[in-house]
């Protein structure tokens, strides 16, 4: 049976090609002819409010931890 190995190789190749085609299709590598482009997203006032609140929260955490470290009593050794 000289063609048995060829049949197995062909079957494996077809299965791998099918799996690759499904994976590429799932990731968006379809044969779409139109090109997609990156669009810029403008900043809105809510973005600045969020950035300010995040900075304020970070500053509060930093100051609170530095205050705890300074006021923590450490017994003498």
For the beta carbon of residue 11, count every other beta carbon within 10 angstroms: 10
Domain locations in the chain? 4-29+45-71
Alpha carbons 45 and 51: distance in angstroms, whole number: 10
For residue 5, CA distances in Å to 10, 11, 26, 74 come to: 9, 10, 32, 76
* Each residue's pLDDT expressed in tens, for the chain with a length of 77 residues: 667 888 889 999 999 999 998 888 888 776 666 666 778 889 999 999 999 999 999 999 999 888 877 777 777 77
For residue 60, CA distances in Å to 6, 50, 68 come to: 70, 15, 12
Predicted TM-score (pTM) of this structure = 0.44
Confidence at residue 2, expressed as pLDDT on a 0 to 100 scale: 67
């Amino acid at each position: 049976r000289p063609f048995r190995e060829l049949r197995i190789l062909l079957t494996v190749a077809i299965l791998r090609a099918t799996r690759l085609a499904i994976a590429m299709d799932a990731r968006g590598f379809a044969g779409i002819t139109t090109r997609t482009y990156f669009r810029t997203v403008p900043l809105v006032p809510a973005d600045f409010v969020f950035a300010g609140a995040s900075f304020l929260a970070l500053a509060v955490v930093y100051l609170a931890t530095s205050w705890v470290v300074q006021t923590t009593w450490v017994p003498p050794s």
